[in-house]
């Protein structure tokens, strides 16, 4: 396959189904050699078969992104089979601790945090050293708009933390003059097995009844946004949180204003300081 990302090696976590599978397929269509990563062998095998049937090249690695040893072994396996990693898409996610804090199962809540935040951290930590050596690389963290503002979402904490991880990592990489860029992306409400659980489970119907009326979209817009960011067209926006409705190329034109005002990132807004004599 040839395309806008020809010759690059991409790792997509959570690639066994849903958004992750769609990302893996689209990156292969764009010319990447794709490593599909998840915990379920059969689902990953299906993803790879779809890519290869369309003429792409892909491998899969079964790994739990919350396990540092498994993540390190996964990265080493990808480097040995495909080569140095150019793109990391942290898509693996979990959303099972439904309910308010006083009702949610603490172990389920912590597993959500581990997958959504620790998993992204471990994968970034594993791929960045080689990216620093090569002075190139891009990381896309799949976040959520529910990280912003009041929200009934029980996993908002992990997704808000993922935005700050993206922001802090981008700053660290800028200080290193590393040539490595990192973004956070919101896919919107997409029809997946995870969101279906939110709509249909007993806990979801009890605590999140309003979601039943929220329109669910497809993966088309988020995969195109991810490919655009991976192409380097918006590298000046490293560290920013970008949603599928945002006009990325217009944002690029206003990057100085975005930086000066801290736009598209989590910031504390306060009352203005009182006038002092």
Which alpha helices (DSSP H) does 82-232 contain, by range?
A: 106-113, 119-134, 156-175, 193-200, 202-207, 220-230
3-state secondary structure of 31: coil
Largest separation between any pair of C-alpha atoms in the chain: 73
Q: 187 near 19, Cβ under 8 Å?
A: yes
**155 carries an active-site annotation:** yes
Q: 120 near 68, Cβ under 8 Å?
A: no
As a whole number of angstroms, the distance between CA 225 and CA 118 comes to 24
CA angle centred on 69, ends 37 and 18, rounded to 5° = 20
Q: Which of 60, 153, 155, 264 is catalytic?
A: 155
Q: 4 near 227, Cβ under 8 Å?
A: yes
Quick one: DSSP state of residue 190? B
Q: Which residues are catalytic?
A: 155
């Amino acid at each position: 396959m040839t395309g806008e990302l020809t010759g690059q090696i991409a790792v997509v976590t959570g690639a066994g189904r849903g958004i992750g599978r769609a990302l893996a397929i689209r990156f292969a269509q764009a010319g990447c050699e794709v490593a599909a990563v998840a915990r379920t062998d059969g689902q990953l095998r299906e993803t790879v078969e779809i890519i290869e049937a369309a003429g792409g090249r892909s491998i899969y690695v079964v790994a739990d992104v919350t396990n540092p040893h498994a993540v390190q072994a996964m990265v080493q396996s990808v480097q040995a089979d495909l080569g140095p990693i150019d793109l990391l898409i942290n898509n693996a996610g979990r959303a099972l601790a439904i309910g308010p804090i006083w009702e949610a199962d603490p172990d389920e809540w912590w597993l959500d945090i581990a997958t959504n935040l620790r998993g992204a951290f471990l994968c970034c930590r594993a791929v960045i050293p080689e990216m620093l050596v090569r002075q190139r690389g891009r990381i896309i963290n799949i976040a959520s708009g529910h990280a912003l503002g009041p929200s009934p979402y029980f996993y908002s904490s992990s997704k808000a933390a993922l935005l700050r991880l993206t922001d802090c990592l981008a700053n660290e990489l800028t200080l290193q003059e590393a040539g490595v860029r990192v973004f956070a992306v919101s896919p919107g409400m997409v029809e997946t097995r995870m969101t279906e659980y939110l709509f249909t489970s007993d806990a979801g119907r009890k605590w999140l009844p309003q979601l039943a009326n929220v329109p669910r979209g497809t993966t088309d817009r988020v995969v195109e946004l991810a490919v655009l960011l991976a192409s380097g067209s918006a590298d000046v926006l490293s560290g920013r949180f970008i949603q599928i409705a945002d006009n990325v190329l217009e944002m690029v034109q206003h990057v100085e204003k975005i930086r000066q005002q801290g736009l598209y990132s989590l910031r504390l807004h306060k009352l203005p300081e009182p006038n002092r004599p």
